[in-house]
Amino acid sequence: MQHKLLSILGIILIALGTNQCRCSSESVYDTINVDLKWGAPQPIDLEGLDVKTAKGLTCRVPSENATYFINAADGKTYKFTQEGGTLECQASGNVTSFNLGKAFVFAAGSMQKQNLYLGTLNGGQIAIHQLEEGTWKQAISQNIATSFPGSILQEDKSIVACTLQLDGQQQGCIMLIHEKLHKFELGCLLFDPAKKNLTKVNIGSYPQGIIKDTYLIGALGIKAGKILLGKGYHKPQHKDSYDILQIEAHTLHLLSKDFKNSSYTIPAKGGASNPGWELFSLATAGGDPTIPVPMFTIATDKGNARTFFRLSTKGDFQPTNLPSDIANNPSLVIPLGDKLCLVTTRPKPTTDEQQNDGQQEEIVYYQAQLAKGKEESSKGESSKEEKTE
């Protein structure tokens, strides 16, 4: 089966106004009519990071106005900042290598200052490391049986995490799948950055949706106490789906359930439990910065083609535009709050005299913002219109 690299732009917050929501008064932010607007390529020095082979975890630390990338193969950490409109990369400490399907990342701390945390899972043991002033230090190591006695942790179904505003802090919210009495269940843990401890969250009104075939795609904190959780399924009859959850009084409840991908957005599973999803938020240019848009990106093991998608008025994913000269190049996605940077390679411009010397490449980044796009037609043909722009 031919693998294809896909990226998905999913705007899910609009569904909070559906009749499945426990809070019918929840405000609805219409983000249907937005598109990625790209700028011209700019050079960047990646401090030795090879964009063609880089696979890892990315996390934004708001108080530092920085986004970190941790390479899974060697544990090297890179800090991306944008001063004066220029994206810069700086090497920032090393941690041990890790398995992407058994690792997670989040930012946690006070509302004014946060740190970067990396968690790994090995043999039922969760270890969380903290990056502080460029040095990684272990914050906690705990056996999962402490929180889920009598359960069998499903390590092959991925463990995911996000930054979640809760109780006046930015906490780490960790989710996993465990089996108890032959029943597969969702598990949730909160990491308190002040106490440096993990506490179990009770699972309240969360109906069926976790089965033997389920694995976790990713999690994203979207509002105070609210989480977007992505679930994937190995069998083709199940489409990837998304739930909006809320934690109140240390109990997790379902707000809205089962926003499903179209058939175009389902990645080739290839036997892998997690094909490489990343979730992050991006503010809309000229919009309300306090209401970020959830975004999704996915990279399969083979192929370099990248496509971005957005949610249409019909609940389907439609493609948005991408610079044609990088559509098939390996790339690294760096979210910066109100901007998105795509780091990649391209053929180095040459003169007529240099063309016979062979093709050389250069590392560049393209910057994009979410901005208002064309109104969608009643026939749902907006994707065709965008391709002709």
Specify the 3-state DSSP secondary structure of 2.
coil
Alpha helices in the chain (DSSP H): 382-387
Q: Identify whether 25 is part of a domain.
A: yes
Is 125's pLDDT higher than 90? yes
> Which domain CATH number covers 36?
2.120.10
For 379, phi and psi rounded to 5 degrees? -95, 0
Residue 263: the pLDDT is 47
| Per-residue pLDDT reduced to its tens digit, 220-237 | 998 899 998 888 887 767
Q: Please give the average per-residue pLDDT across 57-81, as a whole number.
A: 96
Q: Please give the average per-residue pLDDT across 341-364, as a whole number.
A: 75
Q: Identify whether 141 is part of a domain.
A: yes
Q: Identify whether 234 is part of a domain.
A: yes
Q: Identify whether 2 is part of a domain.
A: no
| Per-residue pLDDT reduced to its tens digit, 152-188 | 999 888 899 999 999 999 999 999 999 988 889 999 9
Residue 106: the pLDDT is 97
The dihedral built from the CA positions of residue 376, 334, 346 and 349, taken in this order, carries a sign that is positive
Residue 156: CB atoms within 10 A of its CB come to 12
Quick one: which of 133, 41, 124 has its CA closest to 87?
41
Q: Tell me, rounded to whole angstroms, the distance of Cα 373 from its chain centroid.
A: 23
Q: What is the pTM of this model?
A: 0.84
Quick one: which of 110, 97, 118, 253 has its CA closest to 186?
253
The torsion region of residue 217 among left (phi > 0), alpha (psi -120 to 50) and beta comes to: alpha
Of these ranges, 20-34, 86-100, 311-325, the one predicted with the greatest mean pLDDT is 86-100
Confidence of residue 36 (pLDDT cuts 50, 70, 90): confident
Confidence of residue 380 (pLDDT cuts 50, 70, 90): very low
Which range is least confidently modeled, 118-132, 312-326, 349-363? 312-326
For residue 306, give its domain range.
7-387
Quick one: which of 248, 239, 199, 189 has its CA closest to 219?
189
Q: Identify whether 1 is part of a domain.
A: no
The dihedral built from the CA positions of residue 356, 323, 344 and 44, taken in this order, carries a sign that is positive
Residue 9: the pLDDT is 36
Which range is least confidently modeled, 255-264, 267-276, 356-365? 267-276
Q: Identify whether 136 is part of a domain.
A: yes
Give the residue with greater pLDDT, 150 vs 13. 150
Confidence of residue 116 (pLDDT cuts 50, 70, 90): very high
Residue 354: the pLDDT is 56
Question: How far is it between the farthest Cα atoms of the chain?
Answer: 72
Q: Please give the average per-residue pLDDT across 187-191, as a whole number.
A: 96
Q: Please give the average per-residue pLDDT across 49-69, as a whole number.
A: 94
Q: Identify whether 11 is part of a domain.
A: yes
**Residue 218 CB burial class (10 angstroms; 0-12, 13-18, ≥19):** buried
Residue 16: the pLDDT is 36
Percentage of residues of the chain with pLDDT beyond 70: 69
Give the residue with greater pLDDT, 293 vs 280. 280
Q: How many domains does the chain have?
A: 1
Residue 28: the pLDDT is 38
**Residue 85 CB burial class (10 angstroms; 0-12, 13-18, ≥19):** exposed
Q: Identify whether 111 is part of a domain.
A: yes
Which tokens hold the place of 89? Answer: 């990369």
Residue 369: CB atoms within 10 A of its CB come to 19
Residue 355: the pLDDT is 57
Is 39's pLDDT higher than 70? yes
The whole-angstrom separation of Cα 354 and Cα 358 is 8
Residue 15: the pLDDT is 40
Is 292's pLDDT higher than 50? yes
